């Protein structure tokens, strides 16, 4: 028997985050969004609530929860705003989690307390200007020089990499070659390291209140002890990290999709056209019903992926399915919500305007929809003819 009901603790967490999002984020996030400002006070509040520590054990300073608890929080945050949700998602999944999974005892002791408390943010530098989804095409290099690594290269579209509270960026770099193939390693680069330059914030279509930047490394020297995990295993570590991240991004997508439903239901009960509330017209009812159905299916998809992950069962295919279905639901719902709102849906002062701007990146970030389809096909045993 399959039971998708939340436990009492899970439901309490969901309600707590939903209340925080409604009462603390919703009234102020529009101004942050319009100005393109990072919401430091909101992030600090999330830290005090323990949201950055949700999936980490108490001995690391965490809340002793699990990854599904994080996903529940992300969904409720994204129901109101995706910039805040992605700041938490990236801070946990890409900033702190790799250190927790692969770090030495010394690395965990040095970095995790601040990361899991939300006092500091970490970032993960994988994508490069010419690489995109082809992470294996990494050009950034790290050369061993005695007791140090010397890093040279550029990373693009890196979330949480340039805030005032960013403490580190873990970067992937080519550290050697074996049998004609690049050996990629992951290396921790502390913020402020000489030779590490953080560019100004991108001017983005959406996620305007989150921090996203290009990074460059020019003879950037860090200690050899900053190697994260095994040398030459950085790419494999990243793939595992990304599988988990796709479940989290699915939760963000479901939150945005549900937020579109929430806003539309409220709006059509108030808006009148041709003498009637527009919610009385069957065409509007059907459109909102389709939106709710998409959201429901996407939520079940990420619930299953998270469940398999927590049971230590293979979940790569399920994570890809969840990411594909949920990001598509978010984009479709944002488009339909904007249509229902009409001209008001094109105004940034209304949440659906922000939802529309935020939705598209969900079909791109942490693996495009095309990559998800490729992963699903491969897991079904369908290979490319040249493999």
Residue with more model confidence, 123 or 237: 123
pTM: 0.94
For residues 219 and 270, membership in a common domain is answered with no
For residues 245 and 347, membership in a common domain is answered with yes
* pLDDT of 137: 80
SS3 state at 171: strand
1 has a pLDDT exceeding 50: no
Asked which of 121, 141, 159 is the last residue of a domain, the reply is: 121
pLDDT band at 134 (very low <50, low <70, confident <90, very high): low
**Mean pLDDT, the chain, integer:** 94
CA angle 290-293-296, nearest 5°? 155
Query: Radius of gyration (Cα) for the chain, nearest Å?
Result: 21
* pLDDT of 74: 98
Asked which of 104, 121, 138 is the last residue of a domain, the reply is: 121
Domain interval for residue 205: 123-232
For residues 116 and 140, membership in a common domain is answered with no
* pLDDT of 272: 86
* pLDDT of 136: 66
| Residues in Cβ contact with 298 at an 8 Å cutoff, skipping those fewer than 6 apart | 250, 253, 254, 257, 322, 325, 326, 328, 329, 330
Which CATH number fits the domain that encloses residue 310? 1.20.140.10
pLDDT tens, 185-237? 999 999 999 999 999 999 999 999 999 999 999 999 999 999 999 999 988 88
Within a domain: 225 = yes
Largest CA distance in the chain: 79
348 has a pLDDT exceeding 90: no
Q: Which of 302, 299, 298, 295 is nearest to 318 (CA)?
A: 302
| Residues in Cβ contact with 262 at an 8 Å cutoff, skipping those fewer than 6 apart | 79
Give the C-alpha separation, 153 to 116, whole Å. 29
* pLDDT of 238: 83
CB 232 within 8 A of CB 178: yes
Mean pLDDT to the nearest integer, 155-181: 93
Residue with more model confidence, 69 or 365: 69
16 has a pLDDT exceeding 70: yes
Mean pLDDT to the nearest integer, 149-178: 96
Q: Please, is 324 exposed, middle or buried when counting C-beta atoms within 10 Å of its C-beta (0-12, 13-18, 19+)?
A: buried
Active site residues: 366
Which CATH number fits the domain that encloses residue 88? 1.10.540.10
Mean pLDDT to the nearest integer, 67-96: 97
Give the C-alpha separation, 162 to 215, whole Å. 9
Number of domains observed in the structure of the chain = 3
Phi, psi of 6 (to 5 degrees): -80, 150
């Amino acid at each position: 028997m399959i039971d998708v009901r939340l436990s009492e603790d899970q439901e309490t967490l969901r309600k707590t985050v939903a209340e925080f999002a409604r009462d603390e984020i919703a009234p102020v996030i529009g101004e942050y969004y319009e100005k393109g400002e990072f919401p430091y006070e909101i992030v600090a509040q999330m830290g005090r609530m323990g949201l950055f520590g949700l999936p980490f054990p108490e001995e690391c300073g965490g809340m002793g929860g699990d990854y599904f608890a994080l996903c529940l929080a992300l969904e409720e945050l994204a129901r109101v705003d995706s910039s805040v949700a992605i700041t938490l998602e990236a801070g946990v999944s890409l900033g702190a989690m790799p250190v927790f999974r692969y770090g030495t005892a010394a690395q965990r002791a040095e970095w995790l307390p601040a990361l899991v408390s939300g006092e500091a943010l970490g970032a993960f530098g994988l994508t490069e200007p010419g690489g995109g989804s082809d992470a294996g095409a990494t050009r950034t290099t790290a050369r061993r020089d005695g007791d140090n690594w010397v890093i040279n290269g550029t990373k693009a579209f890196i979330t949480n990499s340039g805030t005032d509270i960013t403490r580190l960026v873990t970067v992937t770099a080519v550290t050697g070659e074996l049998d004609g193939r690049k050996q990629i390693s992951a290396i921790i680069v502390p913020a402020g390291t000489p030779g590490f330059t953080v560019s100004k914030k991108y001017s983005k279509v959406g996620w305007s209140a989150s921090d996203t930047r290009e990074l460059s490394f020019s003879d950037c020297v860090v200690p050899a002890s900053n190697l994260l995990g095994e040398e030459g295993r950085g790419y494999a570590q990243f793939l595992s990290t990304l599988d988990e991240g796709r479940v989290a991004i699915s939760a963000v997508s479901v939150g945005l999709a549900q937020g579109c439903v929430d806003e539309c239901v409220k709006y059509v009960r108030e808006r009148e056209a041709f003498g009637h509330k527009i919610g009385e017209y069957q065409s509007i009812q059907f459109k909102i019903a389709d939106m709710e159905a998409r959201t429901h299916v996407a939520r079940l998809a990420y619930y299953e992926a998270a469940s398999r992950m927590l049971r230590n069962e293979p979940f790569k295919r399920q994570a890809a399915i969840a990411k594909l279905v949920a990001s598509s639901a978010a984009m479709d719902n944002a488009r339909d919500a904007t249509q229902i709102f009409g001209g008001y849906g094109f105004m940034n002062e209304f949440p659906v305007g922000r939802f529309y701007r935020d939705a598209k990146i969900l079909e791109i970030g942490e693996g495009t929809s095309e990559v998800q389809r490729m992963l699903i096909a491969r897991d079904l045993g369908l290979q490319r003819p040249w493999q």
